[in-house]
Amino acid sequence: MTERIWGILTEGFGKILLASIQVTIPLTIIGISLAMIIAMIMAMIQYAKIPILSQIARLYIWIFRGTPLLVQLFLAYYGLPKVGIVMDAFPCAIMVFALNEGAYCSETMRSAFEAVPPGQLEAGYCVGMSYFQIMWHVVIPQALRTAFPPLSNSLISMLKDTSLVAEITVADMFMAAQKIVGRTYEPMWLYAEVALVYLMFSTILTLLQRRVEKRLSKYTMKNAAVQEALPGEAAR
Amino acid sequence: MSMLQIRNLNKSYGNVKVLKDISLSVEKGDVAAILGPSGSGKTTLLRCMNFLEKADSGSMVFDGTEYDLGHIKKNQIAQIRKKTAFVFQNYNLFANKTALGNVTLGLTSARKMPKEEAREKGLVLLDKVGLKDLAGSFPVQLSGGQQQRVAIARALATDPEIIYFDEPTSALDPELIGEVLEVMKALAKEGMTMLVVTHEMNFAEHVSNKIIFMSDGIILEENSSREFFEHPREERTREFIRRIRRDS
Ligand SMILES: Nc1ncnc2c1ncn2[C@@H]1O[C@H](COP(=O)(O)OP(=O)(O)OP(=O)(O)O)[C@@H](O)[C@H]1O
Ligand SMILES: [Mg+2]
């Protein structure tokens, strides 16, 4: 490896990392957070079978899962201004990612809600709990546990998909690499470098996912030696 | 006056009448066993009585207050459920809660009891069903018999006036049935009012004081336990008893 390439890669690494801090990471975090809020609302609406709202939820999910993310980005950034809705590229990207990811997470959450045995709801009613109390204490915690692995996978996909925002002028990691390639004509090295940074981030997320999953498994593993620490008589 | 009365309860699924003009009464301290062949409507009756299913018509008198089952209101359901508890065939424990958490959740969430007070009460109840040592275990870590005992402790937590049991031992391996029946027997001795759908003839004959025999959606015979087994009034009842005597 020549000194020139080494220099380009060092410079590239700094710029890519900076772009990740300015764009890729906040976009991913804000995007998944908003997506989860949307998903919880959509899933609860469908779980509770609220008329009309359920249909609206299904329509939303159908549209956003049925069309390409890149097309959604273009439509929002280049198309919407034609009808008078103008947004900066970054908030526009956040909105599209939240809505797109929200549609996928809605489906994940809905099936996770439905996987909670209905008998537990009935048991909750029988001890006098209200629908919302049962949702809060029983259904949602179990649904989140069930949904955690697929949601983590969605998060990792989304992290990688953020590279598409370069197409609507958002200066993310991928665009940082593209810019240097334009100047240095070293696509091989720089795209490999940016790929490695993506790999690094997704590896971190995967490791985190494993750790959290282990902690969450306490009430789903039969032979788990984990018993909730019980200070006081029972533990003695 | 009876503590609980049901008058002319009707329930259909589609155009199949599952319960036809059911009337019964339960006195304080009764242990009433509901017997009858499969599909006779026993589960449906219990579920209608605790509003897990909505009856089409009929009325309920609970502690002197009359309720129209066909037009029951939410706050009336809440009022009645405060005095009742339900034990399910398949336990239905909250999977994300420990044994203790299962017992206390109704207290802390629905009744706003302080956590510490609920915890103490929960431990007393788990002790009563012989599971204090397993208070911190999650349902998956417990045997069926242990789960059902936790479910009974959960039912007791809210100090019900009556507990409904729907075949509490039917999902259990034979060797685990005894421990659950023991707990139920102890409750009966303490004077707890219980309405128990069961196939355990031993329990029906020796623990319960009253038998409600159902067949095809009607109550064919309502009788004291002794009379029912020694001098059954109905031919169908006699046949039923002959059959179970032969089987066991
Ligand atoms: N949700 C439902 N929809 C339609 N029919 C139902 C429903 N639940 C019960 N039934 C019917 O109602 C009748 C009574 O059922 P139920 O479960 O109350 O009987 P059971 O006496 O509890 O029987 P088992 O001893 O098998 O538990 C049966 O014919 C059953 O098929
Ligand atoms: Mg039944």
Q: What is the per-residue pLDDT for A145?
A: 93
pLDDT at B248: 66
Number of independent structural domains in chain A: 1
pLDDT score, position B236: 87
CATH code: domain B4-83+162-247 is 3.40.50.300
Question: Count of CB atoms within 10 A of residue B241's CB?
Answer: 18
Domain containing residue A88: 3-235
CA–CA separation, B150 and B100 (whole Å): 8
For ligand 1, atom 3: residue with the closest CA: B13
CB A135 within 8 A of CB A68: no
Find the residues whose C-beta lies inside 6 A of ligand 1: B 13, 18, 36, 38-44
- pLDDT of A234 strictly over 60: no
pLDDT confidence of residue A229: 41
Q: In chain A, which residues have their Cβ closer than 8 Å to the Cβ of B94? A: 120, 123-124, 137-138
What is the number of the ligand 1 atom nearest to the C-alpha of B47?
18
Atom of ligand 1 nearest to the CA of B197: 22
- Give the model's pLDDT for residue A221: 67
Predicted TM-score (pTM) of this structure: 0.89
Residues in chain B, pLDDT under 70: 248
Nearest residue (CA) to ligand 1, atom 30 = B39
Chain A residues whose beta carbon lies within 8 Å of the beta carbon of residue B86: 122-123, 126
Tell the residue nearest (CA) to atom 22 of ligand 1: B43
Contacts of B181 (CB under 8 A, 6+ apart): B169, B200, B202, B203, B207
* pLDDT at residue A94 is higher than 50: yes
Domain ranges of chain B: 4-83+162-247, 93-159
Which residues neighbour ligand 2 (ion) by CB within 5 Å? B 43
Please identify among residues 134-153 of chain A the ones whose CB lies closer than 8 Å to any CB of chain B: 136-138, 141-142, 145
Contact across the interface for A233 and B123, Cβ inside 8 Å: yes
pLDDT band at A222 (very low <50, low <70, confident <90, very high): low
Tens digits of per-residue pLDDT, A12-52? Answer: 999 999 999 999 999 999 999 999 999 999 999 999 999 99
Q: What is the CATH number of the domain that holds A14?
A: 1.10.3720.10
How do residues A61-82 score in pLDDT, each as one tens digit? 999 999 999 999 999 999 999 9
List, as one string, the DSSP characters of chain B. Answer: --SEEEEEEEEEETTEEEEEEEEEEE-TT-EEEEE--TTSSHHHHHHHHTTSS--SEEEEEETTEEEEGGG--HHHHHHHHTTEEEE-TT----TTS-HHHHHHHIIIIIS---HHHHHHHHHHHHHHTT-GGGTT--GGGS-HHHHHHHHHHHHHHT--SEEEEESTTTTS-HHHHHHHHHHHHHHHHHT-EEEEE---HHHHHHT-SEEEEEETTEEEEEEEHHHHHHS-SSHHHHHHHHHHHHH-
